[in-house]
Amino acid sequence: MEPSVKSHCLSPGCSIQVSRIMRPDDANIAGNVHGGTILKMIEEAGVIISTRHCNMQNEERCVAVLARVERTDFLSPMSIGEVAHVSAEITYTSKHSVEVQVNVIAENIIKGAKRLTNRATLWYVALSLENVDKLVEIPSIEYVSPEEQEEGRKRYAAQKLDRIETKQRNEDIFLPAINVEPFTIGYSQSSLIHLVGPSDCALHKYVQGGVTMKLMDEVAGIVAARHCKTNIVTASVDAINFHQKIQKGSVITVSGRMTFTSNKSMEIEVFVDVDHVLESPKGKTHAVTAFFTYVSLDKDGKALPIPMLKIETEGEKRRFEEGRSRYLQTKAKRMPLAHKGQ
Amino acid sequence: MEPSVKSHCLSPGCSIQVSRIMRPDDANIAGNVHGGTILKMIEEAGVIISTRHCNMQNEERCVAVLARVERTDFLSPMSIGEVAHVSAEITYTSKHSVEVQVNVIAENIIKGAKRLTNRATLWYVALSLENVDKLVEIPSIEYVSPEEQEEGRKRYAAQKLDRIETKQRNEDIFLPAINVEPFTIGYSQSSLIHLVGPSDCALHKYVQGGVTMKLMDEVAGIVAARHCKTNIVTASVDAINFHQKIQKGSVITVSGRMTFTSNKSMEIEVFVDVDHVLESPKGKTHAVTAFFTYVSLDKDGKALPIPMLKIETEGEKRRFEEGRSRYLQTKAKRMPLAHKGQ
Amino acid sequence: MEPSVKSHCLSPGCSIQVSRIMRPDDANIAGNVHGGTILKMIEEAGVIISTRHCNMQNEERCVAVLARVERTDFLSPMSIGEVAHVSAEITYTSKHSVEVQVNVIAENIIKGAKRLTNRATLWYVALSLENVDKLVEIPSIEYVSPEEQEEGRKRYAAQKLDRIETKQRNEDIFLPAINVEPFTIGYSQSSLIHLVGPSDCALHKYVQGGVTMKLMDEVAGIVAARHCKTNIVTASVDAINFHQKIQKGSVITVSGRMTFTSNKSMEIEVFVDVDHVLESPKGKTHAVTAFFTYVSLDKDGKALPIPMLKIETEGEKRRFEEGRSRYLQTKAKRMPLAHKGQ
């Protein structure tokens, strides 16, 4: 199998391949590469081709900023020493958005084996460098066929709808843990706090979306490890919407809590809050929220059973039920695909 | 002025110089290099010469582990593009301890100017590589004079006493913030949570002391910036004692809270807690605690007044008074030195 | 053996030592430190002393920029936990160039052993900070003897000639791989893409040469590992000439392909292309090109045979022959040295 990106776009410069050897710091102690490392690479490829594309015809210099990532499955974990190949291609453009589709292939250069580890879809908007509050118009790409374009238009409309809906979830509140009894939500609840530095913002003065996603995955991993005490790996990430620009010098707090457990998986809700340290605090909303699904693996990479979550409050119960319905929905969607041989 | 390390030790291999250009990631947004970056470089130099020294005569292979850093003053902040030169030398050895003295010089290679930015004293112990719970005996260095040795013996005895005393402070409890009114302690209280990776532990399976100190300074800087909303820099660090080894794969929580403000400085207490994610939690004590003093600078590098801390509880009041007495003690010690022209 | 830099220069401030512990991320999965890590440290030492030197007598503030690195042999690979000591000294100055000679020593601080791992010669030019397109005149160093100066003058003339000749190679074209049959050139051909961030450019707004060389070695290592499927290490690097400044925010593509294999070594050609993402695309030439030689090691560090390269096209055949002649030339040069006992 040699998975490759099917060409959707006939314009020049609308595809790229980014490759890198996975290093010890990219992986957990069991040697499995963090999902967040992959998400960060994916976003780096996306921001390069989107920024390149939006500067092709424009007089006005602009940079691409991540607006949304579609739900992503991690098909198999990568290991230290393997090479991750991220191929990205622009597949649709609307007036103000760029859709980028990405394939990630893990190559074991010693064994000579390659495998597809995940696919992802990202949406970018372009900001003017002179006035970062202004969206710049995106030059249209040339499509392989009118059908391709029509498919893209549908994906664009669907994500737009979902983007508006999820804005509401951002009001949810994350309370400090009080209960510390094992398997409760309070017990595994965790936070990371990160000071946004220059390298988090290479092209402009805002955090690249990939940096945020890497931190989100890291906190979800700590929550999962605390709950299971085993080797845990990212199985999937639900769609993530980015509603705020996060500026250099801000402090971002990334918090995660368990919401749902099935037999073989656990769902962790992650919130990103931004504190502009040098400004007085404004009314707080979450800058980003997302659901990460983790699985627990034994030494041979086989899925272990997940300890059942101890539910204590009404809010926890509601969130558990919502998690279950997301779980069932995903399972249902995956079924027919299995028959198609994917 | 060309400050240099006066030679204390006649043995071969007991000095080293580590130099590096300061990069954007080493500094805050005002361009001032974090004190933590310097502390990490200092510790790297210390661990190299201590490990080298303790293996010189021993049959048993060993690695040096940081046990204590004496109070350190940062005389002037460094900037991006300057070169930090860290010169370290072994200045005393007891049966189980190595004392390392360090000078840090900032060199502006564009302007051709050099200045001393700080001095530090570190204490290391040596662990056997076969049995990391065993302290290895340290070969004695050859002293320039018996007076040098006697001075070292006094420093050794003094730090030993202080080390035992501070062990008690480790029982103190750090509560989650409830009050969020500006200038209260709860308002600026902050945490960083870090997953210990392979690069944090190059010589053995434990975190290098410099990694921990860098995180401690980072959280203290966030607390200070939240309180002041200005450009803040590390002015000094009180003695830090390391009482626990922190293993790879642990999650360390580094928390900071304001304890005291004078007109021109603020004191931040920092705690490091260790969570062995893959083990069930044991009774918690802080692995490391320390006091950092920060100052707030205007655009020309002049010290700005610090907003007074709002004290609310009895515990806060007690800690404020303790902070004041540390402040006055340091001030008193510094006075006579000024007359000596140091 | 305690190798040291023989003093060539009597001027003050024309030598420096940079030391650092090698960490897991500096090495491949077999624990051997990447040649690129060493090249980056070498260049850091070089840029420090060159920038310091060119500002000594000049009114006009300037920064040193790497123009060329002479052919470098890596005598023995370093391991994680060893300390790399890089000593650099200015050995010659022409009107517009600075020659820096560097010695790298690996120290095993546990075993107390030191060994020379490589020597390198770098050439820098100095750019004015006010006008980066202007070369600044270099103050002359004071030589130990007129013979020293004359030797330097010859090295300067020789590199200048070579520098002009290699400019032509930059027109060569790097095509995407089509054939993926093992041991062909297309099979192992690889690329890396890197977005130039702030920490890649500490002294000015251009990438430091060491950052580029580290990426070049990384891609060559991937090509070599793909071809051999074993533990591979950098054996040498041919002279590298830097013909273009690469600005912050650019995207650099580093591509590598096998050109030649002997029984025990393989040669990889590396190209660096620059894409100024924020500008409209221009006609392309390679910013940097170089030849890396790799060897393949078994578990005891003994050289393994290299699978023969499958040659398919006329161009491949021509490049293979050119590689062979470089190989034979180097072999011939090395012979007499062996007799001199070096």
Instruction: Report the side by side order of strands in the sheet with A83-93.
Output: A15-21, A83-93, A98-108, A113-128, A62-69, A240-241
Helix/strand/coil for B9:
strand
Give yes or no for residue A341 having a pLDDT over 60. Answer: no
pLDDT at A191: 78
Both tokens assigned to C57? 């007598």
Are A251 and B25 in contact (CB < 8 Å)? no
Tell me the two tokens of residue B282: 């044991």
Q: Which of C103, C97, C137 is nearest to C119 (CA)?
A: C103
Structure tokens at C8: 């060539």
pLDDT in the model for residue C233: 94
Q: Residue type at B18? A: V
**Residue (of B25, B69, B90) closest to B212 by Cα position:** B69
Residues A244, A221 contacting (CB under 8 angstroms): no
Residue A308 has pLDDT above 90, yes or no: yes
Cβ within 8 Å of residue A311, ≥6 positions away = A185, A317, A320
A206: distance to nearest CA of chain C, Å?
13
Identify any residues that bridge with A126 across adjacent strands, giving them in sequence order: A64
* Structure-block tokens of residue C51: 């920038």
Whether the Cβ atoms of residue C262 and residue C235 lie closer than 8 Å to each other? no
Check B26, B217, B238, B273 and give the catalytic one.
B217
Residues 6+ apart with CB under 8 A from B328: none
Model confidence at C167, in pLDDT bands (50, 70, 90)? low
Q: pLDDT digits over A6-63, tens only?
A: 456 666 667 887 788 888 888 887 889 999 999 999 998 999 889 888 888 767 888 8
Which other chains touch chain B, taking contact as 3+ CB pairs less than 8 Å apart? Answer: A, C
Contacts of C190 in chain A (CB under 8 A): 19, 83
The single-letter code of the amino acid at C129 is: L
Q: What is the pLDDT at residue B293?
A: 97
Instruction: Specify the 3-state DSSP secondary structure of B37.
Output: helix
- For chain C, the average pLDDT equals 86
**Are residues B294 and B240 in contact, defined by beta-carbon separation less than 8 angstroms?**
no
In sign, the C-alpha dihedral spanning A132, A135, A140, A145 is positive
Whether the Cβ atoms of residue B306 and residue B230 lie closer than 8 Å to each other: no
pLDDT, mean of residues C248-266: 91
d(CA C223, CA C189): 6
- Look up residue A218 and give its amino acid: E
C224/C258 Cα distance (integer angstroms): 8
Give the one of B25, B222, B226 whose C-beta lies nearest to A199's C-beta: B25
C25 and A24: CB-CB below 8 Å?
A: yes
How many angstroms separate the CA atoms of A73 and A239, rounded? 11
Q: Which residues of A touch B24 (CB under 8 A)?
A: 197-199
What residues of chain C lie within 8 A of the CB of B62, using their CB? 110
* pLDDT value of position B284: 61
Q: Report yes or no: B203 and C81 within 8 Å, Cβ to Cβ.
A: yes
Mean pLDDT of C92-110: 94
Residue C328 DSSP one-character state: H
N-terminal to C-terminal alpha carbon distance within chain C: 12
Find the residue in A nearest to B200 (Cα).
Answer: A25
Distance CA A287, CA B24 (A): 26
Q: Residues in chain C whose beta carbon is closer than 8 A to a beta carbon of chain B? A: 16-25, 44-45, 47-48, 51-52, 55-56, 61-63, 80-81, 83, 107, 109-112, 129, 198-199, 202-203
* Predicted confidence pLDDT, tens digits, chain B (342 residues): 333 344 566 666 778 888 889 988 898 878 899 999 999 999 999 999 999 999 988 788 899 999 999 999 999 899 998 999 999 999 999 999 999 999 999 999 888 889 999 999 999 999 998 888 889 999 999 898 999 999 999 999 999 988 887 766 655 666 666 667 889 998 888 887 787 888 888 777 888 999 999 999 999 998 998 899 888 999 999 999 998 888 887 888 899 999 999 999 999 999 998 877 666 555 566 888 899 999 999 988 899 999 999 999 999 999 999 999 999 999 888 765 444 443
Name the nearest CA neighbour of B13 among B122, B127, B90, B126: B90
Ramachandran assignment for A42, one of left (phi > 0), alpha (psi -120 to 50 degrees), beta (any other): alpha
Beta carbons within 10 angstroms of residue C92's beta carbon:
24
**Residue C38 has which token pair?**
């060493």
Q: Are C198 and A203 an interchain contact pair (Cβ–Cβ within 8 Å)?
A: no
Mutate to test the interface with A, among C22, C25, C29 (most CBs of A within 10 A): C29
Write down the pLDDT at residue B276.
73
Pairing of strands B15-21, B62-69: unpaired
Q: Are A1 and A115 in contact (CB under 8 A)?
A: yes
C-beta atoms of A251 and B190 within 8 A = yes
Query: Min CA distance, A24 vs chain C (Å)?
Result: 6
Report residue C86's pLDDT band, with 50, 70 and 90 as the boundaries: very high
- Which of C18, C80, C109 comes nearest B48 by C-beta? C109
Set of chain A residues whose Cβ sits within 8 Å of the Cβ of C195: 44, 47-48, 202-203
The rounded distance, in Å, linking the Cα atoms of C276 and C195 is 10
Set of chain C residues whose Cβ sits within 8 Å of the Cβ of B48 = 19, 21, 83, 109
Q: Which of A222, A280, A281 sits opposite B251 (nearest CB)?
A: A222
Question: How large is the average pLDDT for residues A247-269?
Answer: 91
How many Å from the N-terminal Cα to the C-terminal Cα in chain A?
13
Note the ipTM here: 0.81
A257 to chain C, closest Cα gap in Å: 31
What's residue C180's pLDDT? 73
CB–CB of A19 and C222 under 8 A? yes
Query: How far is the C-alpha of B268 from the C-alpha of B287, rounded, in Å?
Result: 17
Q: What is the pLDDT of residues A205-237, one digit of tens each?
A: 888 899 999 999 989 998 998 899 888 999 999
Give me the residue label for tokens 């979800």: A220
| pLDDT given at position C342 | 38
> Nearest-5° angle of CA A32, CA A37, CA A43?
150
In the residue annotation, C217 being an active-site residue is answered as: yes
Q: A13 with A53: CB under 8 angstroms?
A: yes
Burial class (CB in 10 A: 0-12, 13-18, 19+), C112: middle
> How far is CA C319 from each of CA C185, C234, C261, C295, C329, rounded to the nearest angstrom?
11, 20, 11, 19, 15
C-alpha distances in Å from residue B139, one per residue of B129, C7, C329: 17, 33, 50
Query: pLDDT digits over A98-139, tens only?
Result: 999 999 999 887 777 889 999 999 999 999 988 888 899 999
Distance CA C288, CA A269 (A): 46
Q: Using CA atoms, how far apart are residues A316 and B50, in angstroms rounded to an integer?
A: 52
Q: For chain C, what percent of residues have pLDDT higher than 90? A: 54
Phi, psi of B102 (to 5 degrees): -130, 140
Is C21 in Cβ contact with B44 (below 8 Å)? yes
DSSP string covering C162-183, please? HHHHHTGGGG---PPP----TT
Q: Assess whether pLDDT exceeds 60 at residue A170.
A: no
Considering C28, C58, C108, C170, which one is annotated as catalytic? C28
Consecutive H or E run containing A224:
helix A209-228
Position B6 scores a pLDDT of: 47
Which one of C195, C218, C253 makes the best mutation probe of the A interface by having the most chain A beta carbons within 10 Å? Answer: C195
Place of tokens 């052919």: C71
The tens digit of pLDDT for each residue in A47-97 reads 988 988 888 876 788 889 999 999 999 998 899 888 898 999 999 999 999
Q: Which of C217, C231, C238, C241 is catalytic?
A: C217
CB distance C196 to C246 below 8 Å? yes
pLDDT band (50, 70, 90) for residue C341: very low
Nearest to residue B152, comparing CAs of B14, B262, B308, B310? B14
B52/C198 touch (CB, cutoff 8 Å), yes or no? no
pLDDT exceeds 90 at position C305: yes
Q: Please state, in angstroms and rounded to a whole number, the distance separating the CA atoms of residues B240 and B40.
A: 13
Compare CB distances from A218 to B180, B195, B277 and report the shortest one's residue: B195
- Look up residue C25 and give its two tokens: 């991320």
Predicted confidence band of residue C97 (pLDDT cuts 50, 70, 90)? very high
Q: Provide, as residue numbers in chain C, all residues whose Cβ is less than 8 Å from the Cβ of B18.
A: 18-20
Residues on chain C bordering chain A, Cβ-to-Cβ distance under 8 angstroms: 24-25, 28-29, 180, 182, 190-193, 195-199, 218, 221-222, 225-226, 229-230, 249, 251, 275, 277-281
Task: Give the start-end residues of each E strand in A215-304.
Answer: 231-237, 240-241, 251-261, 266-275, 288-297
Q: Is A28 a catalytic residue?
A: yes
- Of A217, A231, A238, A273, which one is the catalytic site residue? A217
Q: How far out from the chain centre does Cα B109 lie?
A: 27
Q: Say how far apart CA A248 and CA C222 lie, in whole Å.
A: 34
C-alpha A278/C-alpha B225 separation (Å) is: 7
Interface of chain A toward chain B, CB-CB under 8 angstroms: 24-25, 28-29, 176, 180, 182, 190-195, 197-199, 218-219, 221-222, 225-226, 229-230, 248-249, 251, 275, 277-281
Which chain B residues are within 8 Å of C4, Cβ to Cβ?
A: none
Choose from A61, A109, A127 for mutation: most chain C CBs within 10 A: A109
